[in-house]
Structure 1
Amino acid sequence: MPESSTSGASIELENLTKRYPGSPSPAVDNVNMEIQAGEIVIFVGPSGCGKSTTLKMINRLIEPTGGRIRIGGEDVTGIDPVKLRRKVGYAIQSAGLFPHMTVAQNIALVPKMVGWPKRRIKSRVEELLDLVGLDPGEFHGRYPRQLSGGQQQRVGVARALAADPPVLLMDEPFGAVDPITRDHLQDELIRLQHELHKTIVFVTHDFDEAIKLGDRIAVLRERSHIAQFDTPEAILTNPADDFVSGFVGAGAALKRLNLTRVRDVEIQDYPTVTIDDPLQEFFNKLRSSGTNEILLLDKRRRPYKWLRRGDLMRAKGSLARAGTLVHDTVTRDATLRDALEAVLTDNAGRVAVTGRRGEYDGVVDMETLMNSVHELLEADRLEAMEHQHELEEARATQTHAEQEGDGGEKKA
C-alpha cells in the first residue's frame, strides 16, 4: 500500500433510532456506541434484531429517524448521503458486483465517480487486485460470472476499498460461500487489516466468525439494544447475562481457539523438494531430516503433495505420480481452530502453512495444537477456581457482616 493510504476514523452513534411508519415500536431504539479508529467491531445478534439496519444507517442507506452519526468527529447526519457513501466502503453478501461490468470496471466505479484521473484509477485497480490476492493480469478483464464465489467476494472487498475510505461496512459478506472458502476469506480480511488499519463494522449471525474477526463484539438484542460490548475474550469468559451466554454456547474454552492464531504457536520447518529437483534430492533430504515424509512443492513453491519413501517405490520412482495431494492449508492469520479442523480432516497429524500467495511457509502439527488446547482448558479451570474462591470470600464477608449486625441489635 502507498504511504498516503488513509487509515481508519472513529465512529460515534448517539441515540440512533429508526422507526418505520405503521410500526408500534422502533426497529432500532436509541443506540449509543463509540467505535475507535482502526478497530474491527462485529454486530452479532438474532435475526431481525436490527443489526443490519444499524449498519446501513452509518452510511445512510437507511435514513435514521433520530440521533446522530459522527465519523472522525464530523457529524454526517445532515450531509449529502451520496457524498457520504463515497467516503464509506460497503461490502455485502454475494459481493453485489455489476454483471455487465468487468472486474476492473467494478473496482473502478467509485474512483471514476469522484473524478480520479484514468492513470490513477488503472494503478489503483491493479494495486487492489494484488492486495486481495488476485493476479491483475489474469482477472482484470473477467466478468463476475467467470469467477468463483470466493473470487467474487474478494473483488467486492476490493471495490469497497477502491477510493481508500477510512470506514468499511460489511453486511454478512462471507455468508454465501462454502465453509473452507469462508475461512480463507476471513484470514484474508485479517491480513488486509494488518496492512490497512481501516475502521471496520461487520454484521454476522455467526458467533464463531465474530470471535475470530472482532477486536470488539457488540451482542445485540431486539431493537439493537446492546446486551454486551466487549472484547471476544471478555465475552467468552464473562458473558453479561443468560442472553449473551446463549450466543457463547457450550465449549467456551474450545471457542477460544478462535482467539489464537497460527502465528502465535511454533511453526516447524519441514523438509521440502520441488517437482524439478532430481530424485536423489528426495532421498538425501529424507535421510538427513530424520522424518518419514517430505512436502513436494510446485513450481511456484506452493504445497502440492506429501511424499513418503514407500509412495516413491509404488510410483516406480516418479515424483509426479507419487504421494498424496495436499487438500488444505492454513495461513499464519488462520486461527488454531482452523488449523485443528484441517489437521483432523487430513488424518495425518499436520497441516502446511502458506504465505499470501500460497507459497510454503512451514508446518503445524497435532502435538503443537493439542498443547495449546490443554493450556486453554487449564487456564479456564484456574479461572473458574479463582472465581469460586472470590464468591466464597464474598459470602463469608456478607455472613460476617450480618452476624455483626445481629450482635449490634442484640446489644441495643
Structure 2
Amino acid sequence: MSEPTAPGAAASGATIELENLTKRYPGSPEPAVDSVSMEIKAGETVIFVGPSGCGKSTTLKMINRLIEPTGGRIRINGEDVTDIDPVKLRRKVGYAIQSSGLFPHMTVAQNIALVPKMIGWGKARIRSRVEEMLDLVGLDPGEFHDRYPRQLSGGQQQRVGVARALAADPPVLLMDEPFGAVDPITRDHLQDELIRLQSELHKTIVFVTHDFDEAIKLGDRIAVLRERSHIAQFDTPEAILTNPADDFVSGFVGAGAALKRLNLTRVRDVEIADVPTVTVDDPLQDIFDKLRGGTTNELLLLDKRGRPYKWLRRGDLMRARGSLARAGTLVHDTVTRDATLRDALEAVLTDNAGRVAVTGRRGEYTGVVDMETLLNSVHEMLEADRLDAIEHQHDLEEQRAQLTHQEQEGAGPGPGGPGGAARA
C-alpha cells in the first residue's frame, strides 16, 4: 500500500482482492468464514449483506486484520498485506463502526487527529486537516472543534466517526453497520452524506449492513452472503432486484421490488422546483405583501441560516397578529440532492403537504420536489419494468423456438431410418 499522500493531494481508492479468505475458531467444527474470494474495484462501494451470524462482519474485519485470517490472502492495490504489521495496516485503512466508537475523554478535534498524529503528521497539517474533515461532514469547525462526544447527538457522533476514519486520507474505508444505532430520519441523512462524500472522494468502501434497502441505496455492487460468508450473488443493485440468483436472494429482496428501485434514483436526477421564500428577518408587512401579490398562496419561511423553518399560507397570516411565532406549519423533514426518491416520497407522505424541501450540505434551502414529480418517476420505472419483462419473455420464446427447431432437425431420417440404406 502507498504511504499517506502529501498535503493538498487526495488519495483515491484502491483495489481489494480476497483470495480463499478463511477464519476458523478453535473448538468450532465449521469455519466462521469459508474460502471467500472476490475482487473489489478501486473507488467502488461494495455492501456485504446477509443474515445475522453469516460472517459478514468477520470478513470485513479480516481486511484490516482486526481479526486475523486462518487462511487465504488479502491484497490491497496488488500488495499482499496478510503478513505485514497489522498496526501499520490499520493506520492506512479507515474504519467506522456503529455508535461511532469515539473516545469519550477526547474532544472532537483530538478524536479526528488521532491517526494523523500516530503516523507523524505535523501540528499545522493536523490542525488544517481537522477543520477540513469537519467541514467535509457538514459540521461547523468553530462550533464542534472543542466539544466532547457526550455533547453531540447520535448523528453528529457518527459524522465525527466518519471524519476520523477519513482523516489520514486512506484509500480504503471499512464500515461495520455504522448507522445502525441512530433513528430512521438521522440514518437517511447520514446515508445521503456518505453518498455525497463518496462522489467527492472516490474511496474504496466496504460496508456491512443487515438492511437490504440500505444496501440498495449505497452500493455500487452488493454481495449477498449465506452462512460462512459463501457468496449467493455479487452484482449491481439493479441486477439483484430484477434477477435474483435464487430463492435465498429473493428472500432478501422481499416484496415490492419495483418500489425498491426508488432507492436507485436520486433527488438530483429529477426536476427540483422552486417556491417563493421569505426569512424570519423580513418585516411582517413585506411577507404579507409577497403572499398577497404572488401567484401562489404559500411561502417557505427560512431561518437565519437559510434553512427551511415553516410553510406559510395566506390564512396563517391572519393569525400572525404581528408575530410569526404561532403562524404557519413547521417543516418536519427535508431531503438532500443525494437522497433517494424513496426518501423523498416518505418525506412527502409524512409531511402530508404534497412536497418536500431540498437542502444543501449545511441544511440551506435549495428547492422542492413535489408529489407529481415523484409519481411520474414511479410510473416511468414501472413502465420500464413492464417493457423489460416483455422483452425478456420474447427472448425466452425465441430460445424455445430455436430449441424446438434443432430438435426437429435432429429427429430427421438417419442412416438407420427410412431410406437410410439407399443413401448409404
TM category (shorter chain) comes to over 0.9
1:221 aligns with 2:218: no
- Bigger mean CA offset, 241-250 vs 174-183: 241-250
> Does structure 2 conserve the Cα–Cα contact (< 8 Å) formed by 1:275 and 1:320?
no
3-state SS of paired residue (1:170)? strand
Report what 1:390 is aligned to. Answer: 395
Deviation at 1:317, TM superposition (A): 4.5
Task: Work out the CA distance in 1 between the residues paired with 2:308 and 2:41.
Answer: 39
> Which residue identity lines up with residue 233 of structure 1 in the other structure?
E
Aligned counterparts, 1:8-407, within 5 A? 8-287=13-292, 289-407=294-412
> Which residue identity lines up with residue 76 of structure 2 in the other structure?
I
> Does structure 1 conserve the Cα–Cα contact (< 8 Å) formed by 2:288 and 2:317?
no
> Does structure 1 conserve the Cα–Cα contact (< 8 Å) formed by 2:292 and 2:314?
no
TM-score by length of 2: 0.94
Task: Work out the CA distance in 1 between the residues paired with 2:31 and 2:374.
Answer: 47
> Does structure 2 conserve the Cα–Cα contact (< 8 Å) formed by 1:330 and 1:354?
yes
Deviation at 1:287, TM superposition (A): 4.6
> Which residue identity lines up with residue 264 of structure 1 in the other structure?
D
Aligned length: 412
> Does structure 2 conserve the Cα–Cα contact (< 8 Å) formed by 1:296 and 1:307?
yes
> Does structure 2 conserve the Cα–Cα contact (< 8 Å) formed by 1:16 and 1:67?
yes
- Bigger mean CA offset, 130-139 vs 203-212: 130-139
Inter-CA distance 289–368: structure 2 relative to 1 (3 Å threshold): farther
> Does structure 2 conserve the Cα–Cα contact (< 8 Å) formed by 1:354 and 1:361?
yes
Instruction: Pick the structure with greater CA Rg.
Output: 2
Task: Work out the CA distance in 1 between the residues paired with 2:270 and 2:294.
Answer: 22
Deviation at 1:402, TM superposition (A): 2.2
3-state SS of paired residue (2:21)? strand
> Which residue identity lines up with residue 277 of structure 1 in the other structure?
D
Report what 2:3 is aligned to. Answer: none
3-state SS of paired residue (1:123)? helix
Task: Work out the CA distance in 2 between the residues paired with 1:3 and 1:261.
Answer: 30
Task: Work out the CA distance in 2 between the residues paired with 1:96 and 1:278.
Answer: 46
> Does structure 1 conserve the Cα–Cα contact (< 8 Å) formed by 2:46 and 2:221?
yes
Task: Work out the CA distance in 2 between the residues paired with 1:90 and 1:164.
Answer: 12
Task: Work out the CA distance in 1 between the residues paired with 2:188 and 2:168.
Answer: 26
3-state SS of paired residue (1:69)? strand
Task: Work out the CA distance in 2 between the residues paired with 1:94 and 1:120.
Answer: 28
Deviation at 1:279, TM superposition (A): 3.0
Inter-CA distance 373–247: structure 2 relative to 1 (3 Å threshold): same
- Bigger mean CA offset, 239-248 vs 348-357: 239-248
- Bigger mean CA offset, 109-118 vs 336-345: 109-118
TM-score by length of 1: 0.97
Task: Work out the CA distance in 2 between the residues paired with 1:58 and 1:176.
Answer: 23
Deviation at 1:7, TM superposition (A): 1.2
Deviations 1:11-69, CA, capped at 9 Å, x for gaps: 11111111111221211111111111111110011111111111000000011111111
> Does structure 1 conserve the Cα–Cα contact (< 8 Å) formed by 2:48 and 2:222?
yes
Deviation at 1:404, TM superposition (A): 2.6
Gaps of 5+ in 2: 1-5
Q: Post-superposition, which runs of at least 4 consecutive aligned residues in structure 1 deviate over 6 A?
A: none
Task: Work out the CA distance in 2 between the residues paired with 1:215 and 1:375.
Answer: 22
3-state SS of paired residue (2:412)? helix
> Which residue identity lines up with residue 372 of structure 1 in the other structure?
S
Deviation at 1:318, TM superposition (A): 2.8
Task: Work out the CA distance in 2 between the residues paired with 1:288 and 1:403.
Answer: 78
Task: Work out the CA distance in 2 between the residues paired with 1:351 and 1:29.
Answer: 47
Task: Work out the CA distance in 2 between the residues paired with 1:287 and 1:373.
Answer: 35
Deviations 1:170-226, CA, capped at 9 Å, x for gaps: 000000100000000000001111111111000000000000000111111111111
3-state SS of paired residue (2:411)? helix
Task: Work out the CA distance in 2 between the residues paired with 1:3 and 1:357.
Answer: 24
> Does structure 2 conserve the Cα–Cα contact (< 8 Å) formed by 1:270 and 1:363?
yes
> Which residue identity lines up with residue 204 of structure 1 in the other structure?
T
Task: Work out the CA distance in 2 between the residues paired with 1:288 and 1:208.
Answer: 45
Deviation at 1:400, TM superposition (A): 2.5
Deviations 1:363-387, CA, capped at 9 Å, x for gaps: 0000000000111111111111211
Deviations 1:84-125, CA, capped at 9 Å, x for gaps: 000000000111111111111111111111111222111111
3-state SS of paired residue (1:408)? coil
RMSD of the alignment, in Å?
Answer: 1.5
3-state SS of paired residue (1:6)? coil
- Bigger mean CA offset, 173-182 vs 94-103: 94-103
> Which residue identity lines up with residue 53 of structure 1 in the other structure?
T
- Bigger mean CA offset, 382-391 vs 346-355: 382-391
Task: Work out the CA distance in 2 between the residues paired with 1:287 and 1:312.
Answer: 10
- Bigger mean CA offset, 96-105 vs 314-323: 314-323
Deviation at 1:288, TM superposition (A): 5.1
